[in-house]
Amino acid sequence: MRLSYLFNAISLIFIYIGFVAFLPIIVSLIYQEYNAAIPFVITGVISVFFGLCLKLFVNKFLKQDRMTDIKKSEGLTIVLLSWLVFGIIASIPYLFFGFGIEDAFFEGISGATTTGATIFTHFDYPKTLFFWRSLSQWLGGMGIIVLFIAVLPQFAVAGRQMFFAEAPGPTEDKLTPRIKNTATALWGLYIILTFIQIILLVYFKMPLFDAVCNSLSTISSGGFSPNPDSIAGYNSLPVMWVVIIFMFLSGCNLALIYRVLTKFNISLLWNNEEFKTYLKIIIMVSLSIFGILYINTNHHTIVQFTNSVFTVISIMTSTGFASCDYSNWSVSAQILLFIVILFGSSAGSTGGGIKIMRALIVFKYLKRELTKLLHPNAVITIKMDNVTVTPDIVAQIIAFIMFYIAIFIFSGLVVSIIESSVVIGFGGSMATLSIIGPAFGHVIGPTGSYEALSPVTKFIFMLNMLIGRLELVPFLILLNKDYWSLKR
């Protein structure tokens, strides 16, 4: 790996994220929260200054390169360091509002990775801070590198390796031959969906500021809300259904949605195996939970049905919004929610989890192996949407799921011992690794907070968030000794 490439890229991340940190100042001026602007001025100045210093260091001591031949290992490293930098910068403002260092980092990384796990125990903070929480999720939802590839020439030149390193998946899904154009198209769709949701929420009587923050957190599958009771606090069925629709869209493959909209061809959805599976799981699990709630309460109101659909989509897309406290539901209903956590959302979405496409390919692989037990000489290929999945990709997916489960079990066991609670250990590990945020139980459930957990637990969960957001790959390569070969 060439240090000149790494330092040059990270210096740009510091500089431009620093400029982004100035945006909440506009909110502080609008709502006359002048003191609340100071943390963001300081954060922006620190970030830009550090980035410029790093840039000067590169210019003076390292060979200058234009990053035209970036290697995969370098792309993975830049992505990993970019998310660490973003998480650190996102954390700084919280230090000025009375948060300890570990709590500030936890909230900042939770926002940057769109996890939505919070250490807030009350909501008596300026609107400026709530805007920053949602803005950090919105930026993290589509991806920092994808944004910079779209707007910065330095990243656009060698963006392919970083683009797919930031959002690794079973296949490389490009909208256009040029990665810069793909990144620009995805961000354009992302922005349009955000504005449409804001307009609809305002139409249904949600205050403008809340509509902006909730929309930023919905499209990004983040889940931070300025309301202490999340979406349930607005007590509005129309608002809940608007959020349901956009959570659903955020859990879809955004490249697929883009093609449907630009080609005016909705049949593309029905021809996509992953989308059909995604929709079927939501329908089946929502109806099952609604049935369970009916059996337990003997009520079948539209509110109960809405809560069932809302919770399933919120959990499956890793958004983490709450329309009710599902910790009070029966064990059978919570088990169904745990199952949808494992599936996660679609590849190419802003959500987390294993991803439906990976689960489908593994299911087809197992089906093929069972068939070959009966017909040893049969030649059976694994296909997704009539495209053959190569053995290399199948092997990578199986390895991914094995590592995913191993990290979940290991972190779950360690945290269970630290917190003396299996619910916190395994529930919190799954919620942070799948970047959902709220877990199960009353401590870290939809109405709880991670604030009371030990610093070690918070560190483990922060690591889970970063691993889950980047889908393991950049972290797993750190285990390879060949990776640690550095050059100027």
Above 60 in pLDDT, residue 300? yes
Q: 49 or 145: whose pLDDT is higher?
A: 49
Residue 175 has pLDDT above 80, yes or no: no
Mean pLDDT estimate for the chain: 86
Cα–Cα distance, 179 to 146 (Å, whole number): 9
How many Cβ atoms from other residues are within 10 Å of residue 17's Cβ? 26
Structure confidence at residue 342 (pLDDT): 82
pTM here?
A: 0.90
Question: Measuring CA to CA, how many Å separate 38 from each of 22, 24, 88, 134, 424?
Answer: 10, 10, 18, 19, 36
For 383, which DSSP code? E
Residue 249 has a pLDDT of 95
Which of 177-191, 368-382, 444-458 comes out lowest in average pLDDT?
Answer: 177-191
Q: How many residues does the chain have?
A: 488
Between 457 and 443, where is the model more confident?
Answer: 457
304-315 tens-digit pLDDT: 999 999 999 999
Q: Is the pLDDT of residue 287 over 60?
A: yes
CB neighbourhood size of 433 (10 A): 27
Cβ distance 427 to 439 under 8 Å? Answer: yes
Count the neighbouring beta carbons within 10 Å of the beta carbon of residue 487. Answer: 10
Domain boundaries of the chain, sorted by first residue: 389-484
Q: Read off the pLDDT of each residue in 352-368 and give the average, rounded to a whole number.
A: 90
Residue 148 pLDDT: 55
The predicted model gives 381-409 an average pLDDT of: 88
- Tens of pLDDT along 62-71? 665 555 566 6
172 pLDDT above the threshold of 80: no
pLDDT band at 18 (very low <50, low <70, confident <90, very high): very high
With beta carbons less than 8 A apart as the criterion, state whether 9 and 78 touch: yes
pLDDT digits (tens, 9 = 90+) for 97-128: 999 999 999 999 999 999 999 999 889 999 99
The pLDDT value recorded for residue 485 is 61
Is the pLDDT at 192 greater than 90? The verdict is yes
Mean pLDDT of 26-51: 95
Determine the Cα–Cα distance for residues 206 and 240; give it in Å rounded to an integer.
11
Above 70 in pLDDT, residue 145? no
Find out whether 142 and 216 touch, Cβ atoms under 8 Å: no
315-329, pLDDT tens digit by residue? 999 999 999 989 889
Calpha distance 162→81 (Å, rounded):
12
323 HSE (CA, 13 A, CB side): 25
Q: Which two tokens stand for residue 440?
A: 């199960």
Phi, psi of 387 (to 5 degrees): -110, 130
Measured CA to CA, the distance from residue 55 to residue 128 in angstroms comes to 30
Q: What is the pLDDT of residue 349?
A: 86
Question: DSSP letter at 326?
Answer: G
- In single-letter form, the type of residue at position 456 comes to V
